[in-house]
Structure 1
């Protein structure tokens, strides 16, 4: 079943005293439920813009964008925000953990917007998720006392604590050494599988991109599929 469908998506932004800048040109993309998809591209290729659209943070200028069969263009801003909060988990290169809050408190944060039983059980749910990523013994540790790999594990736990159907990983290993990055990607894939979530990884690293089921290259705002077995270009 299809979770995301983009057809002919463009994104143009206005530039003061200059012609409008088109960042994305006719992007076509389909992501199935539970699928692993990678998008590789150089800096300035439009990766961040595409990520913001996929994550319901921004809207296309034109084209079709459907999330779980529903046209995103028809959603009001409040409905779009609720869908993003319920269905999308973000993982960033720089972790973006809240300083002055423990690992447990960081993972609990998304559950402050939950309702009913999940809200009242937020501490238990967050502790269970940290245990799942191998940090059950670090619940009360502050981010600055964690290694880079441990901080990324906290970020993964925070992204998954609401059991989203879509995980967007933006350069998730960019701040890690190769060995730690490989371990983190393996963990991310395992946990995503456990929750049946689709995983879209935005990266500049061909080795990370090659781990996906479906691979794409974004070049100057144009998305090109990479054939199975072919090397993912940098």
Structure 2
């Protein structure tokens, strides 16, 4: 493995509850992910998958343990540096798309570039149009989200996540709101673009078919990551996700 873009060691996340014992969501997570990796993380609902993703994406901080991004410990980052690192290097793809309803596909994709300076700011519409062309929506630039299918909305969300060429893509149940066929197309697209860009891809999923696409697969159970085989077992391959 090349030098990891993300290195987590002993990550814990505990939430204090009024009149109850603290809720221990993560109990010691270890993970290294390098640029070019594709890692999947499975787990039951409520197992802490999204909590872990938010920590890896610098949206949240662990209660204990260490997290390094490009070799820099999270503890040494100011809030401003953490935000800049996340904005430049991390792209998020969510199950619910999170598109702005009053903006066109083009306007949704160009939004992250509004916070850039220099050339990318002034070329944001051109860059957004090129990215939408890459995901197969070159003819749908001016459509509002409610005029797009679920698969098309997810393509817009992927284009928006990748518009700043992130080195780490975090996908939280990216096919969860889609039918099986459309979900497979979306994962093909996400895999292809991540590979082309040389980006690391971490996919949170409950679907073993999605998890099986990864180079390395993990299951989050009892607050700890356990490495598993990314290959579908015969029973799972013939079952319903």
- TM-score normalised according to structure 2 size: 0.94
Structure 1 unaligned spans of 5+: none
Q: How much does 1:227 deviate?
A: 3.6
1:198 aligns with 2:200: yes
User: How do 1:1-234 residues align onto structure 2 when only pairs under 5 Å count?
Assistant: 1-227=3-229, 229=231, 231=233
Q: Matched residues in 1 for 2:232 and 2:161: separation?
A: 31
Q: Matched residues in 2 for 1:197 and 1:228: separation?
A: 19
Q: 2:99, 2:108 within 8 Å by CA — same for their partners in 1? A: yes
Structure 2 unaligned spans of 5+: none
Q: Matched residues in 2 for 1:8 and 1:195: separation?
A: 30
Q: Matched residues in 2 for 1:24 and 1:97: separation?
A: 30
- TM-score normalised according to structure 1 size: 0.97
Q: Matched residues in 1 for 2:23 and 2:175: separation?
A: 30
Cα-to-partner distance string for 1:74-93 (whole Å, 9 max, x where unaligned): 11111101111001000000
Q: Matched residues in 1 for 2:144 and 2:229: separation?
A: 43
Q: Matched residues in 2 for 1:230 and 1:178: separation?
A: 16
Q: Taking structure 1 as reference, are residues 231 and 25 closer, same or farther at Cα in structure 2, changes over 3 Å only?
A: farther
Q: How much does 1:209 deviate?
A: 0.4
Q: 1:171, 1:202 within 8 Å by CA — same for their partners in 2? A: yes
Q: How much does 1:230 deviate?
A: 6.6
Runs of 4 or more, structure 1, over 3 Å off, are 227-234
Q: How much does 1:8 deviate?
A: 0.8
Q: How much does 1:13 deviate?
A: 1.1
Q: Matched residues in 2 for 1:210 and 1:228: separation?
A: 4
Q: 2:91, 2:166 within 8 Å by CA — same for their partners in 1? A: yes
Root mean square deviation, CA, Å: 1.4
Q: How much does 1:34 deviate?
A: 1.2
Cα-to-partner distance string for 1:177-223 (whole Å, 9 max, x where unaligned): 00000000000111111211100000011110010001000113111
